[in-house]
Structure formats: structure tokens, C-alpha cells
Amino acid sequence: MPQGPVLPPGFFADTEIPDGGDHLRLHLNENPYGPPPGTVDAVREESERHLNRYPDADCRELRERLAAHFGVGADMVAVGNGTDEIVLVTSLTFLREPGTSVVTTATTFPGYVMSAASVGRTPLTVPLDGTHLPVGALAEHLEAGADLAFVCNPLNPTGALLDRAEVTRLLDAAERGGGVVVFDEAYIDFAGPDHEFALRAVREGRRALVTRTFSKAWGLASVRMGLAVGPAELIARVSATAGALPFNVNRQAQRAVLRALEHPEHLERVRAGNARARELLGKELDALGLAHTPSASNFVMVDVPPPGDSAALAARLAAEHRVFVRALDALGMPGRLRISVGTEAEVGRLAAALRAVLAAPAATA
């Protein structure tokens, strides 16, 4: 099967767009509501007091607090420098032996393919089922003996969400085939706790890894903190690999997350604000005649009208209106945009920019 998308050089260059001013960042799925109360002060205090000191390499207090938050034992939690590092370390752990194999979808977060390539593996990639995860195809590969599977839930870039039966099917297939399924739930906080089927399964003893991040709904993208929850045996293997990267979670990140966990109500505020703005975005897109995919996350995938040049439309929005969205060509879905939801005010500005660009002749680009 073909390899999934690999990001072109400079793909993340637009993360350097100046913050504030009149730039509207709707291309990186950032949280416009900011972090929980006190986290900025916690980072500042940690920097002022201990910038010259190494952090706790074992992240003991952090892992204990995370374990309490997720309802598991501390030996069931591993932490890393963002979910990206967790994904890489997972590949290094379970794909190091010759002949090991990994499966994921052809259209999703490219880090899965790139991390597998770092250990010399070319993933089996299966096409989406429309805009949904191809659960049947993934299960077939797991039952056939794939050693590792990366499953993005909700799915980036479509926003599709797995139900309980689909999660169970993947867990059953992985256990029959002897592999490990990794549920990357970077965006699950926007869907809400009623959809945490994979995490509940791990609590009940199922053999899987669930990754989470503090970069999205928690609003802590700058400090980089991700984690994996899973059976103690799997977490021990992942942690042993990560031992080659001592001090990977810096002091500021550890303090920020510890402070953030004191305010679990923050997630509900963010979830509610995101839901209102996402509903408004859907209405604005409908009014513009732009087809879009239902989403459980903080982004919406939008079809670009003929001739379907998503890169050109994104470029015009940036150049003419300083509104930044993500063209999905590099993620294997040409003709579509992924638009971060933003606040309700930001949705209004986006809609105005789209209306102006779509009304103007393409020759003005």
C-alpha cells in the first residue's frame, strides 16, 4: 500500500506568524481561550526561581497527578515533549525489531508515518471510509499481525469520531493479532468525556495506549506536554525507550500542567465555547454554499468550490485578509481546507474574508 503523506520542507514555517495584531491564526488548531487560571504565573515563577536547574527527569509528581486525573495508577502514565515525542518513542519501542509492521490511515497526522520511517518502517496505509476512520480495514491488518496501529480519534483532519463498538472492534483485533493499537486522542476533550471509550477500556485492563495532549483544549501548546496512558507493561517499555531523552519535559511544562490540573472546569468552558463557535461556523459556511464535514473537534474540514484549488484559496485569505487556514494537499486531501474554529468573533471575521475572496475574480490572486 502507498505510504501516507510526508510533510514538505517548511510545512510549519507559518507557525512564526506574529501573534496578536491583525493576524488570525486558524491553521494550527490552537485554543483561542488560553490556558487555565494561574498557569502563566506558574511558568513565570518556575523560570524566575529555577531556570538554571534541571527538571525532575522522572516527572514523578506530574505522573502521579495525571494518574489521579485519568483514574489510573502512576505506573500506567508516560509523559513526553508533546504528543509528537510520544508517537516517536512509541515507534522506536514497538518497531525496532526487523520485520515489525505498522498500520495507519492514508490521510491523517503525518507524524505517524514520519516516526515509523525513523526506524526504517514503511507503514501500511489504508484509505478513509469517506471522511470516517476505516475501522474494518484497520482491524483486518491488526488481526493479520500488525505490531502497531496509530488511530487518530477524533480524526485529524476530518473531525470524525469513533463510537464504542468501533473502539472495541479495534481492541479485539489488536489483542487477537498480538499488536498494540495507539488511540491518539489529542482532540477528544472537545468531544467530551462521554466519548472516552478507549481510556475506559484501558482502565478495565485492555491492552492499548491512549495519548493525550495539553496543547489543544488545555491551551498549553507553547510548553509542549503530551502523555500516554496504558497497561503498566506497555508503559514500562515506552518509558525505557524515552530514558534516552532525560529531562525531556522541562520545569515550566511540569509546573504549568500541575497548575492546570487544579482547574478541570476549564475544559468545560473551552468545550462549550468551541461548540458555540463551531455551530456558528457551520451556519456561515452553509450561507456561503461551502460543503463541510461534521466535526467533534475544534476544526472543520471544508470543500473548496471549483476549480478546487485549496492552496490558492488559503494563500489569498492570508495575503489579502491575514487569515490563515490549512490547505490539506500535503495531508492527502487536495481541494479541501481545515479551518480551526476560533472564537465566535473570529468566525465572523473568517466568514467575511471568505465571502470577499469567493466574490472576487480568481485572476486577482
**pLDDT at site 364:** 44
**pLDDT at site 20:** 57
Parallel/antiparallel/unpaired status of strands 326-327 and 336-340: antiparallel
What is the Cα–Cα distance from 217 to 72, expressed in whole angstroms?
21
For the segment 119-147, what is each residue's pLDDT rounded down to a tens digit?
999 999 999 999 999 999 999 999 999 99
CB 207 within 8 A of CB 64: no
Question: 21 — alpha (psi -120 to 50), left (phi > 0) or beta?
Answer: left
Torsion of the alpha carbons at 72, 81, 83 and 108, rounded to the nearest 10? -170
What is the Cα–Cα distance from 332 to 172, expressed in whole angstroms?
29
Q: How far is CA 135 from CA 79, 126, 169, 174, 206, in A?
A: 28, 10, 8, 12, 18
Collect all residues with Cβ–Cβ distance below 8 Å to 192 and sequence separation of at least 6: 271
Collect all residues with Cβ–Cβ distance below 8 Å to 228 and sequence separation of at least 6: 77, 78, 80, 86, 90, 182, 209, 210, 211, 212, 235, 238
Roughly how many angstroms between the first and final C-alpha of the chain, as a whole number? 37
What is the Cα–Cα distance from 228 to 281, expressed in whole angstroms?
32
* Whole-structure pTM value: 0.94
**pLDDT at site 12:** 55
Bridge partners (DSSP) of residue 129 are: 132
**pLDDT at site 339:** 98
CA angle 242, 243, 245 (to 5 degrees): 75
For the segment 201-223, what is each residue's pLDDT rounded down to a tens digit?
999 999 999 999 999 999 999 99
**pLDDT at site 133:** 97
Regions of the chain short of the pLDDT cut 70: 1-21, 362-365
Residue type, 314: A
